[in-house]
Amino acid sequence: MLLETVLAIGMVTSAVFAIYLKDTVSSVLSLSTMMILLSILYFNLNAPFAAIFQLALGTGTAAIFLLAGDTLTKKSDPKTSTKTILMGFVASAILCVPVIVGTVMTESLTQSVELSLSSALWDLRAIDVLAQGLVVLTAALGVVILLKEERRRK
Amino acid sequence: MDYIILSVTLLAIGIVGLVTKHDLIKMLIAIEMITAAATMNFVVFGSLMQDSMGQAFSILALSVDACVTAVALALAISIYKQLNIRDFRDLSEMKEESSEEENQTVEEN
């Protein structure tokens, strides 16, 4: 219960700072913190596969993509003032209230889940997995075409 | 714990960020947050119903989300390289200006 509350408060606070910080690198770091806390929450919910995917894709890949994008499209980020940081803390404190109230009023959902993920993925959702592979390949092709077009223009 | 409240809070923060921020990277960060909030529901309800399908759906959603981020970033980089623009408002202004110019040329012809 305490761990869940701490995780929820940390997630809301880091989410607020990911939006309100003016420096993009700090925003990406806040978002990564939120994603790490989310993956810990998934572990707590007995969803280890989702947690590992969240850690690998949500935290690692997304952070690398966003930092690379920020580096390649560099602009001078204004510094975040102390007033903005204080406003962020106030906003996150306000937003944490319903989360804490929800924690107190309801019981934990954490239950043991039988790990039959492979059967869920391959037996029941095989077409989805194949379609997802197609989506990933199409996205990769789209990125290559976009960046190659740019190089050709140069 | 009522995870729905947490999910809705994260969704609200993401939507506020998407509406108020105009930097393309910041908008992507807000979109990431919205998708994380939505994906959380799959895992929570899967855990509640003791079903692995929630995890399976969350894995599919996370992979597609990474693809979306990659394509959106490639578009942002392409826009920046061509127009030197990272602000969404500048793009909208350029679009309005170009449509006005097109209208003027049509009227002149």
Of A36, A31, A40, nearest to B17 by C-alpha is A31
Q: ipTM value of the model?
A: 0.85
Q: Supply the pLDDT for residue A78.
A: 67
Evaluate if residue B62 carries a pLDDT over 80.
Answer: yes
Cβ A54 vs Cβ A39: under 8 Å: yes
Q: Are residues A45 and A76 in the same domain?
A: yes
Q: Are residues A10 and A68 in the same domain?
A: yes
The number of distinct structural domains making up chain A is 2
Q: Supply the pLDDT for residue B1.
A: 55
Q: Are residues A62 and A44 in the same domain?
A: yes
Position with higher pLDDT, B52 vs B75: B75
- Look at the block and give the residue holding tokens 């003032």: A81
- Look at the block and give the residue holding tokens 């350029």: B94
Q: Are residues A41 and A91 in the same domain?
A: yes
B19 touches chain A (CB under 8 A): no
The pTM of this model reads 0.81
Domain hosting A124: range is: 116-154
Enumerate residues 22 to 51 of chain A having a beta carbon within 8 A of any beta carbon in chain B. Answer: 24, 27-28, 31, 34-35, 38, 41-42, 45-47, 49-50
Return the residue of A nearest to B27 by Cα. Answer: A19
Q: pLDDT tens, B34-50? A: 999 999 999 988 888 87
Q: Supply the pLDDT for residue B30.
A: 92
Of B30, B67, B73, the CB nearest to A69: B73
Q: Are residues A136 and A104 in the same domain?
A: no
Positions of chain A with pLDDT under 50: 104, 108, 112
Count CB-CB contacts under 10 A for residue A73. 21
The number of distinct structural domains making up chain B is 1
Give the tokens for residue B24: 């393309």
Q: Which residues pair with B87 in a beta bridge?
A: B23
Domain hosting B79: range is: 3-108
B94 touches chain A (CB under 8 A): no
Of B42, B48, B78, the CB nearest to A109: B48
| CATH code of B11's domain | 1.10.287.3510
Cβ A92 vs Cβ A18: under 8 Å: no
Largest CA distance in chain A: 60
